[in-house]
Structure 1
Amino acid sequence: MWSEWKAADEGGDAGLAAVLASELLELTPKSYYSWFQAGLLSKALGNWPESLDRNTRALKLFTPKDAEEFNGANPAAWNMGIASTALGDWSTARDAWGAYGLDKFQAEAGPIDVDCGMAPVRLNPDQPSLPHQVLFSVGKTEVVWCWRRSPAHAIIASVPLPESGHRFRDMVLHDGEPKGTRRLDGLQVSVFDELGRLEESGLPTWQAQIVGATAADIQALSDLLGQRGLGLDDWSGIRLMCSKCSHDAREDGHDHIPTTSEDAIRLGLAGHEADLGGAIDAWLAGRHGIDVLNLDLLW
């Protein structure tokens, strides 16, 4: 039956794989490996209630022998944490992270909102990580910086391009497998793929063309907007990368040059018009030689 399941994986037959997974669980109800693998299939299909149930069962069956295979860590606990986060079951998520060895998430109750640093997340991922994976997509693929709030969810800190179908401060569910890297403060940090969107911020996305501003001026505007809960991204230096390069699989002699604008700085802004207008006016006060050519609502 396991051979048939693997053949279904290779043939892309998700329906057959699901049937065989259920039959395998009936035949081996006390096998950690069976429940874990079945839970992976549920995760790939985005069936979060089923994934939570199967990984919870796997967690209970985890033995010291299984721990040796996974270097002491329990991957079922991690996938249990992802599934419970997707369902908003924060109590179970805290238990899952504790079972994985991340005790700090068990200190409190209620929704998890812990500062886990900055991380890049690939919105609308274009390459599956698992057989039969149903990729979440509401637009074009884009890697954005996020405030990570738990091991499985983050809030978008960048201002995504409208083509991504995402907005500043959207809350997204993300996987735990690194899929490429980006640089932050001179260090390489892992990129995680989006698995779904948990909450939409509803904040409008704008574009502004600015001339005469220095890097220090733009940083001052960014700080001012950040203090008011608004977003800013310098879209002038966006790198439009192919999928291979985005996943750190670039070929020799192949690279992508950031887009540049000779005449104006192109900014992506996020917030309501009155709030942005007030912040920009405050920023311009006392600054001479800077012109905001336009402030256009994109979506």
Structure 2
Amino acid sequence: MSIDPIAVLSSEEIEALSHHVIAEAQAGRKEAAWHKLQPLRKVQLRQPEAAMALLGIVYERCLQREVAIDILSEVAQSHDQDFRVLSAVGRCLEAASDIDDLNAPPPGDPVFHSVVEKLEGLAKVYEGRPQQEPILEGLATAARMLARQRDAIAESSHRKLTEINPKKSACHYNLGLFYKTRGRFSEGVTSNQIAASLADEVVESYEWNLGICATGAGNTAVALDVWKRMGQAIEIGRFGLPEGRYAQCKVKLAERPLAERTSELDDPGAEETIWIERLSPCHGIIRSVLYQNLGINYGDVVLIDGAPITHHAYGEVQVPVFPHLATLLRRNYQVFDFAGTQDTARQLADISADLDEDAVVYSHSESFRMLCANCWRDPDVNHDQHEGVRKHVVTGRIAAPPGIAPARLLDLIDKAIAKRERCQLYAPDLCAAAGLTARQRIDRRRFALLTGN
């Protein structure tokens, strides 16, 4: 970026430019905001005041994430020995991250790592001096943004801030926030309780994080007290946790949630967005049978964070999609693939109403396919001519609690099928588990024809 060697902006001009940029961004004109901040970019190298104005714009989330990272990189490189500017860059890295996508992998842009390294060095230089506090604030935030890569630095910085300012509620809250996202829920309860006790008034974010941490820690009394203080109609329910009546919502499950992974394997792995039966503001039962193997499945109980990642539209209804914070209980349901045919939509899925003990026939796809009627009747025969027949094919999975015997589950499904006209279900692995070898062979052939495997 070329810089006019004589360009200088007055404090009034810097303030006015910053105000105009923020106004444009808040009006939804981020491209215009980007153009208006160019004079600040041109002088930020020689004018720290302009650099701080740029950081204020980033902090207010006025720019697209990629653009914000570019600005932070420029400012960090230009002021790599200025503790005040670098500390502000560290704090702004949160605004350049998608913090709602809790389980995202560590950001790949070098500025995150370089700022942590520079601030870590400055924290040692200024240890015990007034400058240490803002440095630690920037360092704690920057390290926390790196997923599990710099946890020791993030925790140490947050803890030192509580020692420097033991009566400052925000310091304890931020430490509790760190503990929550790392799955250290009991410690999160303690930090959030201290934060709440030091606040002059009830702070909603403190309450939310205390309730989530208490639920994650299995501290039902504290969780119930929090939710009731927030006006929730809720009592002790299933799994010994608070339970109320809530609309179903969706969760973006992760094979490795941030709270359950390590720095060596610091990515979410496979992810899948599913439905849960929401039992409280922050936990629920998985009510989708998953496509993928994430190590959790239908019937398991998951903890969710309070801020949705996004919303999915279903007609006029906006359904929130929350991040998967941790898995509270794995109930180890049995899962069996199935394929079948039906005469009308959802005919097989509706079988679930006739099953016991939370068993479910869960449809993943419904489509029409042309099959050979002769092969359908006897797939082992080599037919010279194929007779086409159109089938409404359904594929999916059956899930059932571990206590229900496969033979009984199959019997319940057979009885439900018998009550319905012109539908069939083939689950070869379920037949095998039930010890029905001959039926398993037949179901395997039909399953292969329907799925093309």
Shared fold by TM > 0.5?
yes
2:248 matched to which residue of 1? 118
Code of the aligned partner of 1:145? W
CA distance in 1 between counterparts of 2:264 and 2:205 reads 20
AA aligned opposite 1:47: R
Identity in percent = 25
CA distance in 2, matches of 1:144, 1:92: 29
Equivalenced residue count is: 265
Q: Is the deviation greater in 89-98 or in 272-281?
A: 272-281
2:305 equivalent in structure 1: 175
Letter in 2 for 1:5: E
Q: How does 1:222-233 map to 2 (within 5 A)?
A: 222-225=352-355, 228-233=357-362
How far residue 58 of structure 1 moved from its aligned partner, in angstroms, is 0.7
Using the TM superposition, give the Cα deviation of residue 289 of structure 1 relative to its aligned residue in structure 2, in angstroms. Answer: 3.3
Does residue 407 of structure 2 align to residue 274 of structure 1? yes
Q: Deviations over 1:195-243 (max 9, x none)?
A: 1111111111111100234215234313223x642123211169xxxxx
Q: Residue 200 in 1 paired to residue 330 in 2?
A: yes
State the shift of 1:286 in Å: 4.4
What is the identity, as a one-letter code, of the residue corresponding to 1:90? T
**Counterpart in 1 of 2:224?**
94
- Secondary structure in 2 matching 1:164: coil
Match of 2:426 among 287, 293, 296: 293
d(CA) in 1 for partners of 2:350, 2:191: 50
Equivalents in 2 of 1:134, 1:115: separation in Å? 40
Q: Return the alpha-carbon distance in structure 2 between the equivalents of residues 3 and 10 of structure 1.
A: 11
Describe the superposition over 1:137-177 as per-residue Cα deviations: whole angstroms up to 9, x where unpaired: 88621111111111111011111234122121111111111
Distance 1:294 1:269 in 2: 8
Residue ranges of structure 2 left out of the alignment (5+ in a row): 1-132, 368-390, 434-453
Match of 1:14 among 151, 157, 167: 151
- Deviation of 1:107 after TM superposition, in Å, equals 8.7
User: Are the equivalent residues in 2 in contact too, given 1:208–1:268 (CA < 8 A)?
Assistant: yes
Q: Render the CA deviation track for 1:14-56: whole Å, top value 9, x for unaligned.
A: 2122112111111111111111111111112221121110001
Q: Tell me, yes or no, if the aligned pair for 2:179 and 2:187 is still in contact at 8 Å.
A: yes
Coordinate RMSD, CA, aligned: 3.4
The alpha carbon displacement at 1:295 in A equals 3.7
Q: 1:4 to 1:286 in 2, by over 3 A?
A: closer
Q: Which residue of 1 aligns with 2:288?
A: 158
Q: Considering Cα pairs closer than 8 Å and 6+ residues apart, tell me whether 1 or 2 has the greater RCO.
A: 1
AA matched with 2:364: W
Contact 2:347 2:423 in 1 (8 A): no
With over 3 angstroms needed to count, the CA separation of the structure-2 counterparts of 1:32 and 1:43, relative to structure 1, is same
What amino acid maps onto 2:407 in structure 1?
A
In the alignment, the residues of structure 1 paired with residue 420 and residue 306 of structure 2 have an alpha-carbon distance, to the nearest angstrom, of: 45
Partner of 2:321: 191
Q: Give the one of 119, 137, 141 matched to 1:5.
A: 137
Task: Confirm whether residue 60 of structure 1 aligns to residue 197 of structure 2.
Answer: yes
**Offset of 1:135 from its aligned partner?**
10
**Cα distance change on mapping 1:286 and 1:14 into 2, 3 Å:** closer
Cross-structure match for 1:236: 365
TM-score, L = length of structure 2: 0.52
Return the letter of the residue paired with 1:266. Answer: T
Residues 278 and 2 (structure 1 numbering): CA distance in 2 closer, same or farther, change over 3 Å?
farther
| Deviation of 1:103 (Å) | 4.2
Equivalent residue letter for 1:104: A
**Residues 284 and 301, structure 2, Cα contact 8 Å, conserved in 1:** yes
Q: In structure 2, how many angstroms separate the alpha carbons of the residues matched to 1:136 and 1:153?
A: 24
How far apart in 2 are the matches of 1:282 and 1:204? 20
Bigger radius of gyration among the two: 2
C-alpha distance in 2, partners of 1:124/1:199? 15
Kept in 1: contact 2:256–2:268 (CA 8 A): no
